Structure formats: structure tokens, C-alpha cells
Chain A
């Protein structure tokens, strides 16, 4: 039986906390087929047992090991080491948008606090819970979200402008879209989407879509349709006149 190929990989990993830190270089031996998270585990095992790293499934489904590898927001468990040139130093940093707990582990609790402000599914009184697949298709895409918060991390409204009070971020606009488009939902969240959750701060530069490891078309399928629904309600004078004259939506 053939022995797996091994080679040395050099990583620069952020060590520190929210008050500051430094990039520390480690060289570890890795095997063919390994991912960045494996290399992090090798660093923990061989050099730095106190290196903090959050992970769980190692299968791209739990959303725990989000970080920035060579500056790109990624799941470390899905980023193969052979994506990088032999001899290239791989940098690993925590997500920039959130406070650092320790090393490459972030405090993402802000997301859960904002999530709690979203009104859950409100089925109509006479709902029989039957709807067609074509009505389910759109919201099923949004159910793929694993809450890795890479989209929140890369969104420049949160990352560079720090508008966390005014803007809820792409992950939760996806959730709001899944509720607003749900065929049996009867709640109206549009005013909240406009005012409290600040969808107008999104200038649709699509970094959230580029970063999503689940391939959810966040901007085109969730945010823009929500913006268009707001146009229907608040910015379209013809529809406004139509509603006034007919009383129909």
C-alpha cells in the first residue's frame, strides 16, 4: 500500500485577542488531501496547544470554522491545502467584522441577538400546509444557510462602516426573504425590513454572494427581490395610486 505524500506547510496565524496580537509563523507536516483546518489542528498538536479555533463537523455544514485564509473569508474545513502553491505561506486570521475571543475564534453573538428580532413564520388562520414544489423552490435555497456568518463578515456595511445598529446584514435578509416569500406566511415585515433592519444600506456589491460557501445567490435571489417589494410599497407612485383607487395590493 502506498504511503500518503507528506510535505511541510508554513502558516501565519493570528495569535491574540480583541485588544491586539500578532501573526505567528508555524511550519507543520501535512498529508495529501488535507484542508486548512487540518493544518490548524497540526499546529495545535505539534506547536501551540493553546491555539483557540472553533470547529465541529469538518464537513462544511456546521458553519463553525469561518476565518480569513490569505484574506479570503472561507470555511477552513473546505479549503484544501493544494489550492495553494507549494512553499506559499498561508495566512489565517479571524473574521474582521466580529470581536475576537482568542486567536482565530470570534464572538458572533451579535448575529443571534439580531436574529431574535425577526418575526417568525406566521401561518394564515386557514392554512392547510399544502403548497406546490414550485412555490417551495425559492425558499428552499435559503434553507441551505449554515450560519457561518461569512456573508456578515465580508459585507462592507458591517465590516468597514460598522453599521451594526442600523443594518441587519445579508444572512438575516436571506432569512427575512425566506419568511416573506413563504407561501403560507401571513406576516408583514416590510416596514421593519426598511426601517429597523436597514436594507437600504445594502448597495448590492455582492460580496456576500461571492463569500457564501453554500452557493446561495444572496443578492439576486434574496436582497434584490426584497428591495423590489419595498419599491412596490414605498417608492412606486403608480402602485401607490393603484392601491388608493382600488384598495387592492
Chain B
């Protein structure tokens, strides 16, 4: 038999401070997982940038051979194709009074800026680190780290207006994809040695290291080419696609990027994980803790 029970509960109009919500699900798991994932990567990449060692292994690539001559590896190392951590690619050799500077800091600003201004990552870190909002229909703090919130919220209109420079970081990121694929080619270019150990030529081979670099670079390429700015520039900015070769091409490219764009978040996380793992793998090989053997004898 149906019955009516009258009880009192807080009015819903009071739902206005951090974490107050009518939601009964585990809404906090998303921002916590994001904070752990992004925070962990930031800590690891910063540590590795300061570490400034064990970031490559094997014979230096042909392109870099002259620059690398001063520290050309010998013995066991010289018989391996060149493996280079993506954190330190392209190779930058600083001499003289700048020798103490980690080249990673001259490199990581570019992919870091690309991810910082990325439309997906903006959602991720605004939610996870700035709690703005932490989750949908969940109350926000009235202040954070001394900054007042509420009616003082400015969004991306003032301090954060720099986010609009995302497309410039994207241009640099595309150039990095080319460089990283060159690293994959170098990692498959193994030296051929004569009986005395001298290099007489090069041949194709592959190893777990080159496979890791290939997967990493491909995921980075998928993340980069699913970018919202590319989607706009390649065809999204048009309202009409004329029945011309150019119009057809731009529509087709826009359609392809749109398909990739639906998985932008997936590519963002996979590529972030793999780029960290690739650096870790090269670190382990370069420090002698793991042997990277070629697949084909």
C-alpha cells in the first residue's frame, strides 16, 4: 500500500560549496584518476629532464655522427642501432658553459605547451587540479590558493587567454612527429661490423626498443592529427565545400580528422603513457639494466 512520509532535508538551494551535490555516484574517481595520471607524468618527466643521462644508446645516427663523435660509444654499445628517448629528441649537444643544462628543457616546452593548451587537457586539468568544476553538477570551492572564485570567475577571458595560441604549439608538434619518425628509422638501422669490430655498413633490423619508439610515435601522431585546431584549419573553418578538387580534398581531410577527433582523449592518454614508457625503456637499456636484442639475426 502506498504511503506518504514527510521528512525534512536540506534545501537543494544550499548546494553551493566544494563537493556538495545531490549526486550519489562516485563522481570523485574521475578527477582523482586524472590528477594521479597527469601529476605522475609531470613528476617523472621533470625528474628525467633533470637526470640528464642515460637517454640514448647505440651507434649515433648518421645525421648526428659528426656531432656525436666526441662521445661516440665503443664496444658493446657501438654494435646497437641508435635508441633515443623522446624526451631528448632531437639530440641537442650543449658545450662550454652550457654543458650543465639538460637538453630536455630545450625540447619539452614544445610538447608540454601543446598538451597544456590542448582542448582535451584543458578539460582534464581544470577539473582535476582547479576543481572548476571537479565534476558536473558538483559544487565548487569559493576560493583556491588565495584566488577568489564565484562571481570573480573569468574563464579564459583574461589570464588564460594564452590558451588561444594552441595552433602554434600544434605546428611545432607536427614537426616533432617528423623528427620522432626519423628516430624510429635510426632505431632500425643497425651497424654491420667486420671481424675487427669496425662499422662497414648498415642494415635493417628491429628490436623491442624500435617497436616501442614506433608505437609511441604513432600514438603521438594520432594524438596530434586528431587535434581540434587541425580539424578547424583543414576544413572546419569553411561553411561551404565547393565541388572542386580542393573543396573535395578539404572535406575529405576534415571528415578523417573528425573521426580521429572523437578519440582525441584516448590518444592523449595512450600517447602520454607511451612517451613516458619509451623514455623509461631507453633509460633501462642505456643504464645496462636491460638488453635490447634485435629480432632478426
Q: What is the 8 Å Cβ interface bit string for chain A, positions 212-249, against chain B (1 contact, 0 not)?
A: 00000001100011011111101110000000000000
Report whether A161 and B22 are in contact in the complex, using a CB–CB cutoff of 8 Å. Answer: no
Cβ of B161 within 8 Å of any chain A Cβ, yes or no, is yes
B12 near A96 (CB under 8 angstroms)? yes
B157 close to A198 (CB less than 8 A): yes
User: How near does chain A come to B118, taking the closest CB pair, in angstroms?
Assistant: 10
- Chain B contacts for A70, CB-based, 8 A: 22-25
Q: Known contacts being A68-B22, A161-B153, is A231 close to B167, with CB within 8 Å?
A: yes
Q: How far is the CB of A84 from chain B (nearest CB, A)?
A: 10
Q: Which residue of B lies closest to A234 (CB)?
A: B164
In the complex the two chains form, is B127's CB within 8 Å of A134's CB? no
Q: Which stretch of B1-9, B51-59, B75-83, B274-282 is in the interface?
A: B1-9
Contact B137–A229 (Cβ < 8 Å): no
Interface residues of A in 175-205 (CB under 8 A from B): 180-183, 185, 198, 200-205
Given A70-B22, A96-B15, A205-B126 contact (CB < 8 Å): yes
Which residues on the A side are within 8 Å of B3 (C-beta)?
Answer: 27
CB of A37 closer than 8 Å to a CB of B: no
Given known pairs A161-B150, A202-B155, the reply for A225 and B137 (CB within 8 Å) is no
Q: Which residues of B contact A230 (CB under 8 A)?
A: 164
> Which residues does chain A contribute within 8 Å of B262, judged by CB atoms?
220
Are A201's CB and B232's CB within 8 A? no
Query: Which of B6, B151, B164 makes the CB contact (< 8 A) with A24?
Result: B6
- For the complex, is A60 an interface residue (Cβ under 8 Å from B)? no
User: How many Å lie between the Cα of A18 and that of B13 in the bound state?
Assistant: 8
Say which residue of A134, A160, A198, A229 sits within 8 Å of B241 (CB atoms). Answer: A134
Residues of B within 8 A of A68 (CB): 12, 22, 137
B133 lies within 8 A of A185 (CB): no
Interface residues on chain A, size class: 35 or more
A202 to B160, CA, bound (A): 11
- SS of A interface (majority): mixed
Interface of B is mostly: loop
Which of B4, B123, B133, B233 is in CB contact (< 8 Å) with A26? B4
- Determine whether A135 belongs to the interface, using a CB cutoff of 8 Å to chain B: yes
Structural contact, A73 and B137, CB atoms closer than 8 A: yes
CB nearest to B5 among chain A residues: A25
| Residue-wise interface mask of A (53-81) relative to B, using a CB-CB cutoff of 8 A (1 in contact, 0 not) | 00000000000000010111100000000
**Chain A residues near B233 (CB-CB < 8 A):** 228
B237 and A229 form a contact (CB under 8 A):
yes
Is the C-beta of B156 less than 8 angstroms from some C-beta in chain A?
yes
Give the nearest-CB partner of B166 in chain A: A231
Contact A201 B8 (CB under 8 A): no
Among A16, A29, A42, A72, chain B packs the most CB atoms within 10 A around the CB of A72
Distance from A95 Cβ to chain B, minimum over Cβ atoms (Å)? 10
- Given the complex, which residues of B lie within 8 Å of A48, measured CB to CB? 4
Q: Quick check: is B132 within 8 A (CB to CB) of the other chain? A: yes
Q: Is A207 an interface residue (CB 8 A)?
A: yes
Within 8 A of B (CB), among A19-35: 20-29
- Asked if A8 meets B2 with Cβ closer than 8 Å, knowing A156-B133, A231-B164, the reply is yes
Question: Residue of B at shortest CB range from A29?
Answer: B2
Chain A CB within 8 A of B66 CB? no
Cα(A47)–Cα(B1), bound, Å: 12
Structural contact, B123 and A205, CB atoms closer than 8 A: yes
Q: Please determine whether B11 and A228 come into contact, CB atoms closer than 8 angstroms.
A: no
Q: How far is the CB of B292 from chain A (nearest CB, A)?
A: 40
- Any B CB within 8 A of the CB of A131: yes
* B228 sits at the interface (CB 8 A): yes
Closest to A231 in B: B164
Kindly state whether residue A111 has any CB partner on chain B within 8 Å: no
For B155, give its contact among A91, A200, A234 (CB under 8 Å): A200
10 cross-chain pairs, A with B, having the tightest CB-CB distances, nearest first: A71-B22, A71-B23, A23-B9, A201-B155, A207-B136, A200-B157, A228-B232, A235-B164, A161-B153, A47-B4
| 11 other A-B residue contacts (CB within 8 Å) besides A200-B157, A220-B261 | A42-B2, A68-B12, A94-B12, A134-B251, A161-B151, A198-B155, A201-B154, A203-B122, A203-B132, A206-B123, A225-B228
Residue ranges of B at the interface with A (Cβ–Cβ < 8 Å): 2-13, 15-16, 21-25, 119, 122-123, 126-127, 132-133, 136-137, 139-140, 149-151, 153-157, 160-161, 164-167, 228-229, 231-233, 236-237, 239-241, 243, 251, 261-262
A-B contact pairs, 22 of them (CB 8 A): A22-B11, A25-B4, A25-B6, A25-B7, A26-B4, A94-B12, A96-B12, A161-B149, A161-B150, A161-B151, A201-B155, A202-B156, A203-B155, A203-B160, A204-B122, A205-B132, A224-B232, A228-B228, A228-B236, A231-B167, A235-B164, A236-B167
